[in-house]
């Protein structure tokens, strides 16, 4: 339903708006305040492992082992507090990320359109809405043009509604089509959305796929731990041991194997990556998108604004009467125009027509330079008109706004109908014009964005009626140069084994030229048009599954099919989108990428990643950080699992010897390792910086715990550390003539084993910094140095500060013990170096 753009009320004055804002407060929903910290803390004591440990503590108490019972309870509490601290930090980080998400509104203030923060809207503000906008306050419709609003998030109704003048639009809904001017009637807590939001505030967030996968890993490991514990108990009973003692072993084994600190460490590591990404202008909307980003194998990118600067300037205009070149600085209204007088007159006419179709845009002189207000392309048309001295009036008109399927827009006013759009969407509506197609092809081939402007006299009853029997006024060619570092980012993707496709609504010639200029068009690249894509998804996937593809003249539906087809080929697809209709494609892609600066709110809501600077390079930076984070998670997994081997080995020796080989570690020592000395180094490994080889070779997709992690932890590092510790233990006992009845000897031997494992873990922390690079060539990670120093302090506390040595059952080693324990360091480092060397040799 079209409507006239009659003059408006002029909106509020900025002084009045400021007064109302002071009086009624900002247009914000009452704070969403996630889970209450106390609830979050309590939750840490009620999950699977916590319950397991509570049961163990209760059993210990019943079995008459109060020290163990208290210790286990202490473990649950300490571990819970630690997990809480990490989750709370992660939660806060996610909240901060949400706050960074731009929500803006175009209002009329002092008679001029102005973009303001949605929080600054006040009652009485005149808001200009267009396709893709999120409605930011409850408002009454004032004027409307073909408006369609998606109210599904308020009403659950998925069919868009078409509000007419005086109808109400609600905060939280989306404009899917058309344009409207609305007057704000309620803001912030007074909107209907606020009422609904307070109802749903406490709704549980669904678990992410990564979280689910990790939970599975942890649960499986936990169940194995319990099973092994039970088996040990069986062995103990068979050996005729005291049930209490058998129980002690069983608990020790279980606790040794359970990866208590793992989940929160992963969450924190993801949150840290998300924050780092936000620094680099990439905003993830779900934490686990960090991991998916790292696994990305195919990036489908937009052209305009992502690969190019989105700084448009009309440089050439073709008309049937001749051509004109235009030069000028940025968006300044002055410039140099070259061309014959006839051509110039025709260009003035075409430019005036183009301006009629883009009434909202203008260039504004601010801080000594001319900046665009509105869509840069439309602003460029205004600038062109000013430079060639064309009429720039925009009288009252009926508008049929641009939509990416039609690829044109039109305007009917007293002077007839003006149409502007992609040449292939406009030329067929025009009387044949000799030379026009050739001009379009020639200008497009230079990488210029080409628009056709056409006209017919008379009035129009509807859009179809408006866009017929046209006369071509001219073809405007706009320059939009590639961004400076796009070529580097594209090269980086190539090196990283990530395939690229440019998916654009633009002309194939323009798209090809930009693809060549940026290096995107690969050696076996391909330029196809959306209309020529195979109808069969399988064939589509086969056609596009190559590097450096350009798909031009696409519709949003094509994008969706392309994402699905590539996923069908096993790709992890990142797809950019900015329009109203890109939502489905963004949701279907593994990583939907929306533009923060220029895109629509609809696209941003559907996306997993928002580029605050619209920049292609930012996607690549985010992928790199995603990969680095994945690698970090594997680093501390290896670290944890290695420790588990060392902790389990004493119990295995004991069980295999039928109980005759003394236990090198007590259960409490195992706990001291797991939640004491191991914690900080694991965290520090999660903060490892991306190494220079992060973007060489294909993504490490698949599971976090794969063969390489298992081999390193269970086959190499774990056994080395375990055997070195057992050797130290054994040698200390031998030096004391194996007098097992001597409690001092037993305590020193056990303290030596404990020290050996702590020192082994110290070396292990450095070994785990890379799965391939030898320790000595790794550059510093200051956090890790700090963590390791802290680890040593804790070791000293456990060994020397009463009553801890007595409780743990391990006292300070003798000088011989120290020497033996210290050998774990070179043993772990040596074994690590040998494995890395062998690995390099094999690959």
* Angstrom distance (rounded) from CA 439 to CA 323: 10
- By beta-carbon distance, which residue lies closest to Mg ion? 304
Question: With CB cut-offs between 5 and 8 Å by kind, which of ligand ADP, Mg ion, none does residue 449 bind?
Answer: ligand ADP
Q: By CB under 6 A, name the one of 37, 404, 519, 719 that touches ligand ADP.
A: 404
- Measured from the CB atom, the residue of 138 and 179 that comes closer to Mg ion is 179
* Angstrom distance (rounded) from CA 364 to CA 96: 33
- Measured from the CB atom, the residue of 456 and 640 that comes closer to ligand ADP is 456
- Measured from the CB atom, the residue of 65 and 595 that comes closer to ligand ADP is 595
According to DSSP, the residues that pair with 400 across neighbouring strands are 410
- Measured from the CB atom, the residue of 307 and 765 that comes closer to Mg ion is 307
Exactly one of 120, 133, 302, 678 is catalytic; name it.
Answer: 302
- In the complex, minimum distance from the CB of residue 507 to ligand ADP, in angstroms, rounded to a whole number: 6
The 10 Å CB-count burial string (b at 16+, else e) for 235-273 is bbeeeebeeeebbbbbbbbbbbbbbbbbbbbbbbbbbbb
- Measured from the CB atom, the residue of 245 and 613 that comes closer to ligand ADP is 613
- In the complex, minimum distance from the CB of residue 332 to ligand ADP, in angstroms, rounded to a whole number: 22
* Angstrom distance (rounded) from CA 636 to CA 745: 34
Q: Which residue, among 284, 288, 90, has the nearest Cα to 208 in the 3D structure?
A: 288
Question: With CB cut-offs between 5 and 8 Å by kind, which of ligand ADP, Mg ion, none does residue 404 bind?
Answer: ligand ADP
**CA torsion angle 763 769 771 775 (round to 10):** -60
640 binds ligand ADP (CB under 6 A): no
Q: Which residue, among 793, 786, 756, has the nearest Cα to 677 in the 3D structure?
A: 793
For residue 608, CA distances in Å to 147, 274, 573, 619, 724 come to 27, 12, 12, 12, 47
Q: By CB under 6 A, name the one of 108, 316, 408, 604 that touches ligand ADP.
A: 408
- Report the SS3 class of residue 381: helix
Sign of dihedral through CA atoms 512, 514, 515, 519? positive
Stretch that binds ligand ADP, among 417-425, 561-569, 656-664, 670-678 (CB under 6 A): 417-425
- Measured from the CB atom, the residue of 476 and 628 that comes closer to ligand ADP is 476
- Measured from the CB atom, the residue of 267 and 304 that comes closer to Mg ion is 304
Task: Please spell the DSSP secondary structure of 495-546, one letter per residue.
Answer: HTT-EEEEE-SS-HHHHHHHHHHHT-S-TT-EEEEGGGS-SSHHHHHHHH-S
* Angstrom distance (rounded) from CA 483 to CA 761: 47
- In the complex, minimum distance from the CB of residue 518 to ligand ADP, in angstroms, rounded to a whole number: 13
- Measured from the CB atom, the residue of 304 and 642 that comes closer to Mg ion is 304
* Angstrom distance (rounded) from CA 584 to CA 192: 26
- Using CB under 5 A, list all residues that contact Mg ion: 304
- In the complex, minimum distance from the CB of residue 357 to ligand ADP, in angstroms, rounded to a whole number: 6
Stretch that binds ligand ADP, among 503-511, 631-639, 646-654, 666-674 (CB under 6 A): 503-511
Question: With CB cut-offs between 5 and 8 Å by kind, which of ligand ADP, Mg ion, none does residue 506 bind?
Answer: ligand ADP
- In the complex, minimum distance from the CB of residue 722 to Mg ion, in angstroms, rounded to a whole number: 59
Q: Count CA within 13 A, CB hemisphere, residue 572.
A: 18
* Angstrom distance (rounded) from CA 540 to CA 569: 10
Of residues 436-495, those binding ligand ADP (CB under 6 A): 449, 451
- In the complex, minimum distance from the CB of residue 502 to Mg ion, in angstroms, rounded to a whole number: 12
Tokens of 272: 């840290």
Question: With CB cut-offs between 5 and 8 Å by kind, which of ligand ADP, Mg ion, none does residue 504 bind?
Answer: ligand ADP
- In the complex, minimum distance from the CB of residue 502 to ligand ADP, in angstroms, rounded to a whole number: 8
Give the total of residues touching ligand ADP (CB under 6 A): 19
- In the complex, minimum distance from the CB of residue 578 to Mg ion, in angstroms, rounded to a whole number: 6
- Measured from the CB atom, the residue of 123 and 450 that comes closer to ligand ADP is 450
**Residue 302 designated active-site:** yes
Q: By CB under 6 A, name the one of 504, 618, 644, 764 that touches ligand ADP.
A: 504
- The residue assigned the tokens 């002092």 is 110
Chain length of the chain: 843
- Report the SS3 class of residue 487: helix
| Tally of CB atoms within 10 A around 209 | 12
Sheet order of strands, 104-109 included: 112-117, 104-109, 126-130, 174-186, 138-150, 168-169
Question: With CB cut-offs between 5 and 8 Å by kind, which of ligand ADP, Mg ion, none does residue 684 bind?
Answer: none
Q: By CB under 6 A, name the one of 120, 138, 467, 506 that touches ligand ADP.
A: 506
Q: By CB under 6 A, name the one of 187, 254, 409, 600 that touches ligand ADP.
A: 409
Question: With CB cut-offs between 5 and 8 Å by kind, which of ligand ADP, Mg ion, none does residue 688 bind?
Answer: none
Q: By CB under 6 A, name the one of 420, 551, 589, 753 that touches ligand ADP.
A: 420
- By beta-carbon distance, which residue lies closest to ligand ADP? 505
- In the complex, minimum distance from the CB of residue 505 to ligand ADP, in angstroms, rounded to a whole number: 2
CA-based end-to-end distance of the chain? 66
- Measured from the CB atom, the residue of 252 and 305 that comes closer to ligand ADP is 305
Site string for ligand ADP, 362-401 (x = CB under 6 A): ---------------xx-----------------------
Q: Are 391 and 400 in contact (CB under 8 A)?
A: no
- In the complex, minimum distance from the CB of residue 421 to ligand ADP, in angstroms, rounded to a whole number: 4
Stretch that binds ligand ADP, among 300-308, 344-352, 467-475, 811-819 (CB under 6 A): 300-308
Tokens of 497: 């084994």
- Measured from the CB atom, the residue of 126 and 506 that comes closer to ligand ADP is 506
- In the complex, minimum distance from the CB of residue 505 to Mg ion, in angstroms, rounded to a whole number: 6
Q: Which residue, among 489, 298, 474, has the nearest Cα to 388 in the 3D structure?
A: 474
Stretch that binds ligand ADP, among 236-244, 285-293, 498-506, 645-653 (CB under 6 A): 498-506
Q: By CB under 6 A, name the one of 359, 447, 474, 505 that touches ligand ADP.
A: 505
* Angstrom distance (rounded) from CA 222 to CA 48: 9
- Report the SS3 class of residue 133: coil
- Outline where 183-242 has alpha helix (H): 192-200, 209-238
Q: Are 518 and 482 in contact (CB under 8 A)?
A: yes
Stretch that binds ligand ADP, among 420-428, 619-627, 771-779, 797-805 (CB under 6 A): 420-428
The 10 Å CB-count burial string (b at 16+, else e) for 12-48 is beeeebeebbeeeeebebeeeebeeeeeebeebbeee
- In the complex, minimum distance from the CB of residue 34 to ligand ADP, in angstroms, rounded to a whole number: 36
* Angstrom distance (rounded) from CA 638 to CA 626: 19
- Measured from the CB atom, the residue of 378 and 643 that comes closer to ligand ADP is 378
- Contact residues toward ligand ADP (CB under 6 A) are 302-304, 377-378, 402, 404, 407-409, 420-422, 449, 451, 504-507
* Residues labelled as active-site residues: 302
């Amino acid at each position: 339903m079209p409507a006239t753009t009659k003059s408006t009320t002029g909106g509020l004055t900025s002084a009045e708006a400021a007064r109302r804002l002071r009086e009624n407060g900002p247009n914000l929903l009452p704070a969403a305040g996630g889970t209450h910290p106390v609830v979050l803390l309590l939750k840490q004591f009620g999950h699977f492992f916590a319950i397991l440990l509570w049961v163990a503590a209760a059993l210990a108490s019943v079995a008459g082992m109060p020290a163990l019972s208290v210790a286990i309870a202490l473990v649950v509490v300490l571990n819970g507090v630690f997990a809480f601290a990490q989750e709370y930090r992660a939660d806060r980080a996610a909240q901060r990320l949400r706050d960074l998400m731009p929500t803006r509104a175009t209002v009329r203030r002092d008679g001029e359109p102005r973009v303001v923060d949605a929080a600054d809207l006040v009652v009485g503000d005149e808001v200009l809405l267009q396709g893709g906008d999120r409605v930011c306050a409850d408002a009454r419709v004032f004027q409307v043009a073909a408006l369609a609003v998606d109210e599904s998030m308020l009403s659950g109704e998925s069919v868009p509604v078409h509000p007419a003048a005086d109808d109400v639009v609600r905060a939280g809904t989306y404009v899917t089509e058309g344009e409207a001017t609305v007057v704000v009637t309620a803001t912030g807590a007074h909107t209907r959305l606020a009422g609904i939001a307070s109802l749903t505030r406490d709704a549980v967030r669904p678990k992410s796929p990564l979280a689910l996968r990790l939970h599975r890993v942890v649960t499986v490991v936990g169940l194995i731990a319990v099973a092994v514990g039970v088996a040990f108990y069986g062995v103990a009973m068979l050996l005729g041991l005291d049930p209490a003692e058998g129980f002690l072993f069983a608990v020790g084994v279980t606790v040794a194997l359970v990866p208590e600190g793992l989940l929160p460490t992963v969450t924190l590591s993801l949150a840290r990556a998300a924050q780092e990404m936000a620094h680099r202008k990439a905003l993830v909307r779900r934490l686990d998108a960090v991991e998916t980003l790292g696994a990305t194998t195919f990036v489908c990118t937009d052209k305009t604004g992502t690969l190019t600067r989105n700084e448009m300037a009309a440089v050439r205009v073709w008309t049937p009467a001749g051509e004109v070149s235009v030069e000028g600085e940025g968006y300044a209204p002055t410039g140099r125009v070259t061309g014959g007088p006839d051509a110039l007159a025709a260009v003035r006419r075409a430019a005036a027509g183009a301006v009629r179709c883009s009434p909202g845009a203008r260039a504004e002189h601010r801080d000594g330079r001319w900046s665009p207000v509105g869509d840069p392309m439309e602003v460029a048309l205004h600038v062109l008109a000013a430079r060639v001295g064309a009429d720039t009036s925009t009288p009252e008109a009926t508008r049929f706004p641009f939509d990416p399927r039609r690829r044109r827009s039109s305007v009917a006013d007293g002077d007839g109908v003006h149409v502007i759009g992609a040449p292939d969407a406009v030329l067929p509506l025009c009387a044949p014009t000799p030379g026009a197609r050739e001009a379009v092809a020639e200008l497009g081939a230079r990488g210029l964005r080409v628009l056709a402007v056409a006209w017919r006299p008379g009035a129009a009853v509807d859009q179809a009626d408006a866009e017929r029997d046209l006369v071509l006024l001219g073809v405007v060619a706009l320059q939009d140069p590639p961004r400076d570092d796009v070529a580097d980012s594209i090269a980086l993707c190539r090196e990283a084994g990530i395939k690229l496709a440019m998916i654009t609504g633009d002309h194939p010639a323009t798209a090809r030229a930009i693809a060549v200029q940026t290096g995107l068009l690969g050696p076996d690249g391909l330029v196809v048009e959306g209309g020529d894509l195979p109808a069969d998804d399988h064939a589509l996937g086969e056609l596009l599954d190559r590097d450096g593809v350009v798909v031009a003249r696409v519709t949003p539906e094509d994008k969706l099919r392309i994402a699905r087809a590539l996923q069908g080929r096993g790709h992890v697809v990142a797809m950019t989108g900015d329009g109203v209709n890109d939502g489905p494609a963004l949701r279907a892609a593994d990583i939907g990428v929306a533009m923060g600066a220029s895109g629509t709110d609809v696209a941003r809501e559907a996306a997993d990643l928002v580029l605050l600077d619209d920049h292609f390079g930012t996607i690549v930076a985010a992928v790199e950080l995603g990969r680095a984070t994945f690698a970090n998670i594997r680093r501390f997994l290896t670290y944890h699992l290695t420790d588990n081997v060392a902790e389990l080995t004493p119990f295995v020796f004991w069980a295999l010897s039928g109980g005759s080989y003394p236990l090198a570690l007590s259960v409490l020592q195992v706990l001291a390792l797991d939640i004491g000395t191991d914690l900080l180094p694991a965290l520090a490994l999660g903060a490892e910086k991306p190494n220079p080889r992060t973007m060489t070779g294909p993504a490490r997709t698949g599971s976090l715990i794969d063969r390489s992690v298992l081999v390193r932890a269970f086959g190499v590092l774990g056994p080395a550390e375990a055997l070195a510790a057992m050797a130290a233990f054994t040698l200390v006992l031998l030096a004391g003539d194996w007098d097992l009845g001597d409690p001092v000897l037993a305590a020193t031997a056990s303290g030596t084993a404990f020290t050996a494992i702590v020192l082994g873990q110290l070396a292990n922390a450095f070994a785990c910094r890379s799965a391939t690079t030898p320790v000595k060539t790794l550059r510093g990670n200051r956090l890790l140095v700090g963590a390791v120093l802290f680890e040593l302090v804790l070791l000293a506390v456990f060994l020397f500060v009463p009553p801890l040595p007595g409780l743990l059952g391990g006292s300070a080693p003798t000088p011989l013990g120290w020497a033996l324990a210290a050998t774990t360091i070179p043993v772990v480092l040596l074994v690590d170096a040998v494995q890395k060397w062998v690995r390099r040799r094999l690959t």
